[in-house]
Amino acid sequence: MRRDPWQAIADPTRRKIIEILTDQSMTISDIANRFDISRPAISKQLKILDESNLINITQEGRERTCSLTPEGLQEVHDWVLQYESFWMKKLDRLDDYLSK
């Protein structure tokens, strides 16, 4: 099942998992140890991220390792990018106002 990346990033736990995985790949156990929720709850969150193509889960012996798939965030990035010029204009006007 392919999920929408917007659904994946809507949850703060999933956003935190994405943030954690930006630095390095981690096992599911290592990720779960960073949260105060059960391992099955973390597994559910990871499944949603995997189905959204935001992470990749690979089997390495007995452990499953998660790594970030940044291409999965491309749709979100493209949508946010269209508002960059809007905010830059606002900030430029604020800068002009404050300079006066």
What are the boundaries of each domain within the chain? 5-71
Residue 1 — very low, low, confident or very high, per pLDDT cuts 50/70/90? Answer: low
CATH architecture assignment, domain 5-71: Orthogonal Bundle (1.10)
Report the DSSP beta bridge partners of residue 84. none
What Cα–Cα distance (Å) separates residue 36 from each residue in 29, 31, 47, 69? 13, 11, 18, 25
Q: What is the pTM of this model?
A: 0.82
pLDDT in tens, 79-96: 998 888 888 898 999 999
Residue 3 — very low, low, confident or very high, per pLDDT cuts 50/70/90? Answer: confident
pLDDT at residue 16 in the model? 97
On the question of pLDDT at 11 being above 70, the answer is yes
pLDDT in tens, 38-83: 999 999 999 999 999 999 999 989 999 999 998 999 999 999 988 8
